[in-house]
Structure 1
């Protein structure tokens, strides 16, 4: 029976995974910021939010592409017990939403609705920002297009693996498949990157019911970084972290109601 990893030990493995990621980024001059609950924890608690059990980082598209290329090159010639699930890789269950960087000495099972369980290792999430238009209607159209192709990617990836292989093997690129949807999605995402607009976003973070996207940030924020304490270590965060946290959480120094102070539905073990 594998030994379970819980509580402080789980957070210790999470922290080591983040520090390995941070070390690699420093060595390769790659810029990123801690983000979401990790950034909030750093500012409000100088570390993990007490009930939180994951880590988030955020990068502009060019920095992420630089990271992915450098890691793939590095891992060819160096043994390492950390693994990258790239953002647009078929192996990544969360393909087209975020990349995962995880410890292969561990196994983690994440439980989702309808009984779905995903298996990988104790991980950090890497979210990628793309430029978006300033005009609200154009933003809405982009977000809806991205979500449309993203949903199809999830569908083809999880339910049509044999079909995808058939299309690829026979060079039938004109037929709907995972590859086609991935190309169309990246074309959407890249449209405003070429214009270098003043806003960036995790484009999939669009809530259709409320017509909002909480991950809309100013591009200029990602030109300047500072260091902030997180569990006794100094980690990068955008200098405008107050603006970023307000955009994401509103009054972020106020604790949520006790019933909302819950972690993710995961179980982890040593291999």
Structure 2
């Protein structure tokens, strides 16, 4: 983000955004407790809980994870359970939203990131991300990195907006073939290798080849985040080292990135918000 005015504007509204995201997390927590669905703080949210006791001071999102089975249960229940003004966003119920990530959006807000397509009509309110975790085969980490990077990169290119050109035509076939080959290899490994030790994000979300030992995740235990207890991995130290290596080191100021390029935490006109989706 190069506009200093917008940069300062987003910084001034950062805490307001964080508190609204925290209220979304509390609603997800309520539903998961009611229906006994396991979830846990993931990524920067877990790092913030361990290192800062809450949000990373310059962070403007919340990440949580569920098993794929748990997420299927949650997405079935949540549309009927979420309080008014929150929207469960998936590629199925908001088709112009292409990310393979489930989000809970606040409809009475506006949150714009650099990758947002302003011509697409998907909801763009403040959100929390829910990442689906699956079992991973017990194979060398170098294999996992190679395969997940190839699969996630190919998926991303195949699902971005394409324009008619020779390059786009070549990309479609090259990355389509690469995606198919790598998925086939992964499928064979998944069938013939043990899957009782590791788990991680679904392949298209895991370009870095991260794997977590299941015994570092389960059984879940509570951790303080912004003065409230939320579920976290059993061994946060091991989990965060998988993600960030030396996670307690504070990055230099020029690396402390806010994702939003524009944010409006509270819209004035409530009547214009979409409350129902098909």
Q: Counterparts of 1:1-271 in structure 2 under 5 Å? A: 6-72=13-79, 74=80, 80-86=84-90, 91=95, 93-96=97-100, 98-112=101-115, 116-117=117-118, 120-136=124-140, 139-140=144-145, 142-143=147-148, 146-147=151-152, 150-151=155-156, 154-155=159-160, 158=161, 192=190, 196-202=195-201, 203-207=203-207, 212-213=208-209, 215-269=210-264, 270-271=266-267
- Displacement of 1:151: 2.9
Residues 52, 150 of structure 1: CA spacing in aligned structure 2 closer, same or farther, 3 A cutoff?
Answer: same
SS at match of 2:216: helix
Residues 49, 204 of structure 1: CA spacing in aligned structure 2 closer, same or farther, 3 A cutoff?
Answer: same
- Displacement of 1:143: 1.9
Q: Please tell me whether the aligned partners of residues 132 and 193 of structure 1 are also in contact (alpha carbons under 8 angstroms).
A: no
The runs of 4+ residues in structure 1 deviating greater than 6 Å are: 183-191
SS at match of 1:243: helix
Which ranges of structure 1 fall in alignment gaps of 5 or more residues? 161-175, 177-182
Residues 111, 148 of structure 1: CA spacing in aligned structure 2 closer, same or farther, 3 A cutoff?
Answer: closer
CA distance in 2, matches of 1:206, 1:253: 22
CA distance in 2, matches of 1:10, 1:148: 30
Q: Please tell me whether the aligned partners of residues 145 and 188 of structure 1 are also in contact (alpha carbons under 8 angstroms).
A: no
Q: Please tell me whether the aligned partners of residues 147 and 204 of structure 1 are also in contact (alpha carbons under 8 angstroms).
A: yes
Which ranges of structure 2 fall in alignment gaps of 5 or more residues? 1-9, 164-172, 174-179, 268-278
CA distance in 2, matches of 1:201, 1:260: 26
Q: Please tell me whether the aligned partners of residues 60 and 260 of structure 2 are also in contact (alpha carbons under 8 angstroms).
A: no
Q: Please tell me whether the aligned partners of residues 130 and 190 of structure 1 are also in contact (alpha carbons under 8 angstroms).
A: no
CA distance in 2, matches of 1:51, 1:126: 20
Q: Please tell me whether the aligned partners of residues 6 and 268 of structure 1 are also in contact (alpha carbons under 8 angstroms).
A: yes
User: What is the root-mean-square deviation of aligned Cα atoms in Å?
Assistant: 3.4
- Displacement of 1:14: 1.1
- TM-score scaled by structure 2? 0.72
- TM-score scaled by structure 1? 0.73
Greater alpha carbon shift after TM alignment, 240-249 vs 141-150 = 141-150
